[in-house]
Chains A and B, each alone.
Chain A
Amino acid sequence: MRHWRQLGLLAPLALAGCSTDNIRLFHPDGVMGGLEFHYTLWITGIMLLIIVPTLLMTIIFPLRYHHTRNAKYTPDWHFSAPIEILAWVIPLGMVVVLAYMSVSAIYRIDPWTAPALASAPGAAQPPINVQVITTDWQWVFIYPDQKIATIDDLVVPAGRRINLTMTSTDVMNGFYIPQVAPMVDVMPAMISKDAFEIDHPAEFTGFSTDFSGAGFSWMQFKTRIVAQSDFDAWVKSVQANPDQLTYGVFTQKIAPAQVNYGATPSYFSVADTGIFGKVVMDAMNGKTYPVPDSLTKSVASNEGEAPASTAAK
């Protein structure tokens, strides 16, 4: 990875004996994750140029000027224009550089439009569109072009740009696949967007990052990047699935609160491509899916686990 040489910038932060192998965000994948990590390293590195000397002074001065040391003592020296000017100008200079980096980065990585992906190989082909709906507490992925849907399983082809359009049934969640895609909030009655592209088959775990209730800890989904041919075959097999996801099935069986322990996936064929839009409109019209108090109190307690995990799909 080209980021490895930049890791040297973080060396002072790394604790002795700590390897980065088990720190996920140090191993980004794809253009979006890679860019995020690139900027993280540069921003951190530039700041260390100031933080490290300041830290050293903070620790050395109390020892150097300890009263037992008889070092030079100037009790009335309390102002120096050159030092004051430096004290303002150095942080100012750093902030100018960092702000420039941050602002230019957001114009490359903005999850809504993902300009960084425009130059990626996948830009040559049309993107794969996935509609994401979060319920309490599952992930529904609808592929409007392929006319299929899954629960808690995001399968996408390698080397293609993935465009995600997201909404939620009634409370906020956060969409996040570490190493792969930027974290974006999933909001009821609103539509948010995210995008990513991975050029090789791989597996990741995505999850919700914004607390949404008692079942929040179990809101994971598998993210499988597969070869294009495998993806096509998988789409065909799901299209043949007799389980149909309709608006009625969604509102009556999937949207009401339930926990999918272990994120067991389910698959559907879809005839009605308007489900996503209807969910957005429902939320705008005030439709909610209240979590029964009894369920909130029993999620993941011994007696609650069994019924909730077998919830109807």
Chain B
Amino acid sequence: MQVAVDGPWTPLLGRLSLEAIPYTNPILIFTFAIAAIVGLVVVGSVLYFKKVGYIWREWLCSVDHKRIGVMYIILGLVMLFRGFIDGVMIRTQQAIAIGPNSPGYLGAAHGYLPPYHFDQIYSAHGTIMLIFAATPLLTGLGNVIVPLQVGARDMAFPYLNAVSLWLTVAGALLCMISLFVGEFSNATWVGLMPFAEMSSNPGVGVDYWMWALQVSSLGTTFNSINMIATIVKMRAPGMGWFRVPVFTWATMATAIIGLTAFPVLTAALCMLGLDRYVGTHFFTAGMGGNYMLYINLFWTWGHPEVYFLMLPAFGLISEIVSTFSSKALFGYPTMIAASLGIAGVGWVVWAHHFFTMGMGPNLIGFFSAATMIVGIPTGVKAFNWIFTMYRGRITLATPMLWAITAIVLLLLGGITGMMLSASVVDYTVHDSVFVVAHFHCMVLVIGAGIFAAVTYWWPKVFGFKLNETLGQWFFWTFVLASVLVFIPMFQAGLDGETRRLDYLFDTSLRPLMLAEVTGMGMYFVSLFCFLAMLVVSLVKREPAGQDPWGTARSLEWLTHTPVPFYNFAVTPQVHALDELAWRRANGLEKAQPERYVPIHMPSSSGLPFIIGMLSFVCTFALVWRIWWLAGASLLAVILLVIIRSFDKNEGYVLSADTIAEMERKLHTVSLIAEQSKVLPVGGQVEAH
């Protein structure tokens, strides 16, 4: 039954041996040295400042949605950096390896990366950017913002929330450790079949990719369940469905996609796992297998996954455009309809990822038309943002600049996307870098939305604003870099350059490749501006008030800055869609409750972290086929889940006096002097 593997296998270490360590590759040794130094500095400073206990108690064991959100965002940013460096390597390799006379370095005939290394890099770039950068960043923002926007104490399942985070971290760790132990997949981020099968890919690379996706998508599925439960059940009194802020609506739509689409990926990867470990033939070319089944299943998840990332970004842009236009969002009901419409139509367009496989004109026609339909709700969104700005009073602060850029990118990505949805155009540029440039436009919409959101909500989470000047520098250098990289890439695609080339035979592409690599240099400048922005803002730490932008509209800006761990001293009563704007208009934004009621809060727990790390050990052992370790760690996870289910701890209650005391302290700190009016308390003791 069990598939025989190439090379030695021992019961104790499986396929793992010293040969798995790529100590002959100078690039990886350099990377390892940098990683080791950074790791030592981080661990060393934690030890030096005696913060081990603090980190363990306050962060690793935390079930607080804001802390979990911040850890998601940190994970996303670290992985974004890794993915960026992968991108830099792809671009520099293609800028050097052009034509038969191009120079070769470090053992490569052309450029400095032989195909074996290069193929892993772009596979890692795609996997990391989508699964371990964009997804955690958006999940993190959702984690921070959604419970605040609906006026909740925490997520519906705070413990599950922590489990989701640490499962995602386990996947990211697996991706990272593949750098130094073994190899990563060379079968692209989508997993080409039958190329990713054992016959063509006998190494551990595909296993790393598969388990990293598998374990992190489990986390994403849990998170989607959590989001839906939170939004459906935990809205503050008075918040009917048409008073739910638009970002929360977008997260709702995205969580529905996540809950329904990710199991498809899980199932597809399970079948691939059976092929690779047990020797079944689900996706092989022969023996009754059908790799088109995998391609259909993958994109059945993969296309909704695109909107899974896109919709929260649309929600972020909506909030920001409205705030910085000092105006209510235009067309709120149609905005929600558009979000749900995109989520729905996103399910019936997957086959446009393989028009070239020849499914016949009837099916192609259907999927082509269905894909174009996505353009309608997306167009509606663009129009609504534009009419939100119309007759507004616009402040071009950094978040707004990012949001406007996102709209422009969406138009550019939209027109190229509509071109590609016509199969007749797709036949000329499918699998070309034109497609790569198109979807990078789209993920840059997500990126711009994320940067806008991080700048916008930063003061709410940390209590001080990010430096505006450096923020603008970061923005403009990033835009310039993107233009330099992706406009030439469109042109190279129209010139017929195919994706995933380690070596370009067409020397006429050289000027374009040089322009693109210049753009990557510009990204470095922008990265420097970003880091400088973080450092300068951290050093200055100018305290921000309850509503640091002055024109914020939704519920999260009602509570203190930074938000106390219990979010709201009393659960707010919601009166309008834009609650803060409504209170401001009625002079109630600084209103204080007449009395406090006890708050039920969840207890923190170290189990989610341990479960996550055990999952990492388990998947690592599965990659290397160390059966005893995989079995033992899986058993430990199951036991921990069982033990937890017998746990009688139902959280703790903050008494009204404690809250009153903490609120009194917070007021003296955040300098809110006037307490004009008194609002009634909504209910009795809140269930969390």
Binding site for B on A (CB under 8 A): 15, 18, 22-26, 33, 35-37, 39-40, 43-44, 47-48, 50-51, 54-55, 57-59, 61-62, 65-67, 71-80, 83-84, 86-88, 90-92, 94-95, 98-99, 101-103, 105-107, 109-112, 170-172, 174, 176, 178-179, 182-185, 187-189, 192-193, 205, 207-218, 220, 261-262, 282-288, 290-291, 293, 296-305
How far, in whole Å, are A83 and B422 apart by their CA atoms in the complex?
A: 28
Query: Does A43 contact B422, Cβ atoms closer than 8 Å?
Result: yes
CB neighbours (8 Å) of B407 from chain A are 58
Q: In the complex, how many angstroms separate the beta carbon of B504 from the nearest chain A beta carbon?
A: 8
Partner of A209, one of B203, B390, B430: B430
Closest to B194 in A: A171
**Is B242 an interface residue when CB atoms closer than 8 A count as contact?**
no
1/0 contact string of B150-186 vs chain A (CB within 8 Å): 0000000000000000000000000000000000001
Give the nearest-CB partner of A98 in chain B.
B372
Evaluate contact between A92 and B424: CB separation under 8 angstroms.
no
Q: Are A58 and B419 in contact (CB under 8 A)?
A: no
| Given A40-B428, A55-B411, A212-B195, 11 other A-B residues pairs in contact with their CB atoms under 8 A | A33-B428, A54-B382, A58-B404, A61-B389, A61-B392, A73-B393, A107-B361, A170-B194, A174-B356, A189-B286, A261-B100
A220 — nearest CB in chain B belongs to which residue? B505
Is B332 an interface residue, CB under 8 A from the partner? yes
Q: Which of B29-37, B373-381, B609-617, B650-658 contacts A (4 or more CB under 8 A)?
A: B373-381
Q: How large is the interface on B (under 10, 10 to 19, 20 to 34, 35 or more residues)?
A: 35 or more
The chain B residue sitting closest to A67, CB to CB, is B393
Give B123's nearest chain A residue, CB to CB.
A211
Known: A15-B487, A215-B115. A183 touches B427 (CB 8 A): yes
B116 contacts A211, C-beta separation under 8 Å = no
Q: Are A74 and B391 in contact, with the CB atoms below 8 A?
A: yes
- B593 interfacial by beta-carbon distance below 8 Å: no
Given contacts A171-B200, A207-B498, contact A105 B411 (CB under 8 A): no
Are B109 and A26 in touch, CB under 8 angstroms? no
Q: Could you tell me if B424 and A94 are in contact, using CB atoms closer than 8 angstroms?
A: no
Residues of A within 8 A of B395 (CB): 66-67
Convert B478-501 into 0s and 1s, putting 1 for each residue whose CB lies closer than 8 angstroms to a CB of A.
Answer: 000000000100010011101111
How many Å from the CB of A197 to the closest CB on chain B? 16
Residues of A within 8 A of B387 (CB): 80, 83, 87
Near A by CB (< 8 A), chain B positions 242-295 give: 281, 284-287, 291
The answer to whether A290 and B199 touch across the interface, beta carbons within 8 angstroms, is yes
Q: Which residues of A contact B358 (CB under 8 A)?
A: 111-112, 184-185, 192-193
Given A54-B383, A102-B372, A184:B108 Cβ within 8 A: no
Give residues of chain B (409-427) contacting chain A, Cβ–Cβ below 8 Å: 411, 414-415, 418-419, 421-427
Are A24 and B494 in contact, with the CB atoms below 8 A?
Answer: yes
Chain A residue with Cβ nearest B188 = A211
Q: Are B379 and A300 in contact (CB under 8 A)?
A: no
The residue that A101 contacts in the complex, of B382, B415, B422, B506, with Cβ under 8 A, is B422
> Which of B222-230, B362-370, B563-571 is the interface stretch?
B362-370
Identify A170's interface contact among B200, B379, B396, CB under 8 A: B200
**Closest CB in chain A relative to B206 CB, distance in Å:** 12
Question: Is A66 in contact with B396, judged by CB distance below 8 angstroms?
Answer: yes
Q: How far is the CA of A217 from the CA of B200 in the complex (A)?
A: 17
Q: Are B330 and A79 in contact (CB under 8 A)?
A: yes
Q: Which residue of B lies closest to A288 (CB)?
A: B199
Instruction: Report the separation of the CA atoms of residues A290 and B100 in the bound assembly, to the nearest whole angstrom.
Output: 27
* Given known A-B contacts A54-B411, A170-B285, A105 and B422 have beta carbons under 8 A apart: yes
Q: Closest approach, in angstroms, between the C-beta of B199 and any C-beta of chain A?
A: 4
Chain A residues with CB below 8 A from B508, complex form: 22
Task: Name the A residues within 8 Å of B415 (CB-CB).
Answer: 44, 47-48, 51
> Which residues of chain B are within 8 angstroms of A210 by Cβ–Cβ distance?
192, 431
Contacts of A176 in B (CB 8 A): 431, 496, 498
CA distance A248 to B400 in the complex (A): 67
CA distance A192 to B355 in the complex (A): 12
What is the CB-to-nearest-CB distance from B383 to chain A, in angstroms, rounded to a whole number? 4
Q: Which residue of B lies closest to A285 (CB)?
A: B286
Partner of B104, one of A83, A91, A110, A302: A302
The CA of A150 and the CA of B418, in the complex, are separated in Å by 39
Which residues does chain A contribute within 8 Å of B386, judged by CB atoms? 54, 57-58, 61
Q: Which of A88, A170, A288 contacts B376 (CB 8 A)?
A: A88
Residues of A within 8 A of B391 (CB): 65, 71-74, 77
Q: How far is the CA of A33 from the CA of B424 in the complex (A)?
A: 10
What's the Cα separation between A284 and B373 when bound, in Å?
A: 38
Contact across chains for A36 and B424 when beta carbons are under 8 A apart: yes
Top 4 nearest A-B pairs (CB, nearest first) are A286-B286, A91-B379, A182-B427, A178-B496
Shortest C-beta distance, A19 to chain B (Å), equals 11
Given contacts A18-B491, A65-B393, A293-B203, contact A47 B418 (CB under 8 A): yes
Given A15-B487, A65-B391, A300-B502, the answer on whether A95 and B427 have CB atoms closer than 8 Å is: no
Smallest CB-CB separation from B404: which chain A residue? A62
Residue B327 lies at the interface, judged by CB distance under 8 Å to chain A? yes
Q: Name the A residues within 8 Å of B110 (CB-CB).
A: 300
Q: Find chain A residues with CB under 8 A from B504 CB.
A: 217
Contacts of A192 in B (CB 8 A): 357-358
B115–A109 contact, CB under 8 A?
Answer: no
List chain B residues, Cβ under 8 A from A75: 326-328, 392-393
**CB-defined contacts of A83 to chain B, threshold 8 Å:** 330-331, 383, 387
